[in-house]
C-alpha cells in the first residue's frame, strides 16, 4: 500500500519597488512568510525620506517602524502581509503571503 502525502510548503518571497518622481527617490521592500522583512530607501535626489515598514501576523498589524536608509524587522511568527513606503505620507506598497 502506497502512502500519499502533501508536498512540503515552500517559503514565499515578495519584492516591491516604488518611486518618488518629484525628488528621484526609490523605495525597495522585501518580505518572506517565515521571518525577515526589510525596506530600503535610496536617496537619489532631493528627498530625505526614511524607509518605513510594518507587518501583519496573526496578532494583526504592527506599528510602523522607520529609519534613514533601511528598516529591518525579524518576526518570530508567520507573516501574512507587509507594507513598505519611503515617507510618512507616501504611497504604501504591500506584499501578501498566502498560507
Section 18-36 average pLDDT: 80
CB 63 within 8 A of CB 54: yes
What do you get for the CA distance between the two ends of the chain, in Å? Answer: 31
Q: What sign for the dihedral angle of Cα 54, 97, 99, 75?
A: negative
Distance CA 80, CA 3 (A): 31
Segment 49-67, tens digit of pLDDT: 788 999 999 999 999 999 9
Quote the pLDDT of residue 1: 45
Distance CA 55, CA 44 (A): 26
Record the pTM.
0.80
CA-nearest of 92, 90, 93 to 20 is 90
Section 64-71 average pLDDT: 90
Judge whether residue 9 has pLDDT over 60.
no
Amino acid at each position: 500500500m502506497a502512502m500519499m502525502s502533501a508536498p512540503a510548503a515552500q517559503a514565499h518571497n515578495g519584492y516591491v519597488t516604488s518611486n518618488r518622481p518629484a525628488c528621484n527617490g526609490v523605495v525597495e521592500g522585501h518580505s518572506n512568510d517565515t521571518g525577515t522583512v526589510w525596506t530600503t530607501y535610496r536617496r537619489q535626489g532631493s528627498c530625505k525620506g526614511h524607509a518605513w515598514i510594518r507587518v501583519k501576523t496573526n496578532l494583526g498589524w504592527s506599528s510602523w517602524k522607520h529609519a534613514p536608509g533601511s528598516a529591518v524587522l525579524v518576526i518570530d511568527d508567520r507573516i501574512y502581509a507587509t507594507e513598505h513606503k519611503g515617507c510618512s505620507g507616501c504611497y504604501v506598497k504591500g506584499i501578501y503571503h498566502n498560507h
